[in-house]
Chains A and B, each alone.
Chain A
Amino acid sequence: MSGEEEENAAELKIGDEFLKAKCLMNCEVAIILEHKYEQLQQMADDPMNQVSQVFEKSLQYVKRFSRYKNPDAVRQAREILSRYQLAEFELCVLGNLCPETVEEAIAMVPSMKSRGRALDEEAIEKVLNDLSMIKKFD
């Protein structure tokens, strides 16, 4: 990123590191951190003492803010979202916030409506429908 003033996630203007790196949904981070925590549990009696504050706070956060709990549902959510022409960042915002209507989805991810995108309201509606199906079987 050249200048901080330019950063604007609403327009998908984000740092180069985000374009190279993979974005993760809260539920995916929850699986990774919980697995890490279990590994520590096997090695130490008091695993919370072994982890950094950053780890602890993040684990608590993603446990509370995961829309999908079981690993199959998490995998399915990413699979469904990947079918549409969404940037990694947009995909994760939708998976994290699970908007219920097209208007809400566009308010959460305004870049979806920018010019030159193949996503019309019908397509967005379909994404939300597909996502809500997973939630039911979770």
Chain B
Amino acid sequence: MASITIKDMSVSYNKGKTYVIEDMSLKVNEGEFCVFLGPSGCGKTTAMHCIAGLLKPQKGEIYFGDKIVTAPLKGIFEQPQERNIAMVFQEYALYPNMTVRKNMSFALETKKAPKEEINRRVDEMAKMLSIEPLLDRKPAELSGGQRQRVALGRAMVRNPNVFMLDEPLGNLDAKLREQVRYELKKIQRKLGVTTVYVTHDQTEAMTMADHIVLMNNGRIVQEGTPSDLYDHPCNLFAAVFLGTPKINTFDCKVQKKGEDYFLVHPSFILPVPEEMEESVKLFEGKTVIFGIRPSDLILVEEGSEGCISGTVDGVEPLGEAFLVYLNVGGQVIVFKYSGDKTSFSGQLSLRPNASKFHIFDKETENRIND
């Protein structure tokens, strides 16, 4: 087990003409479950391959604990086979010519571990993942979910420095995905192994991660705990990427009336909460983006002060709650209602939770309020 430190790493596939990762710096603590999250093509898999040693960055350094494993400018590069890492690929990459048992013991045999030790560890891991009855089968005879578990088992049986997973749940159906997600996190906590997990699915990131690294266009947008990112997105991209349904956003003008500041939209006027005034007042007269998550809207009496009003556009029952779509001045917004009401129609008024305002600069899209 080891922590991972990345310093100013840049990766280019065309000798420096364009960079897929630029100046990435990151620290993943020992035993941490770290998720690289981002849209496809953001460089998250590339970053992981660099950590694994499958790719050589052009610049930068990577450390496992105190040990330097990649430093192209110093001519240091440890081959993947020397790094003691384990990886699960999206396509599982089980060796088709070997049985499940052999697949799981392969890496240990390569390391020339004692036979009894190997058998003990394989049996233990097989029990943990309940794949014991499959040990003598070949990968071709397994279902998707079983293959997935074998791939996980093969990686975890090795007791690696770092455990890496590249969208490992991508090929599973929704139900199985939830189950494996839960098991995976449980096992990771039990083994306490430093884990890097790549995904584009924000739900996976939110539910599993200790530490989310949100990436876009080869750069880290924001990193922190899931609640850091959810409650304090540092820019519009982060706000929109995390959370389902998506955050509602409005272009508003900041106006001062008397001593108070207001967010003015053609369809509504909202008072800026006192604690945010300090940061918002610099934008007086300018346009900002006001964001509010669907669950931070509260249904109130029609015509109340400081409300967003609109006509009901559609309703999606979720069982425990409803997603209600409202048309506000031509723009459709969504709010999540979990009260007793079961039918929605006509005009509704919503009051945004004042402590959950997200305000972004229209030009830079960076967060204004803290």
State whether these chains interact.
no
Q: Which residues of A contact B (CB under 8 A)?
A: none
Q: Which residues of B contact A (CB under 8 A)?
A: none
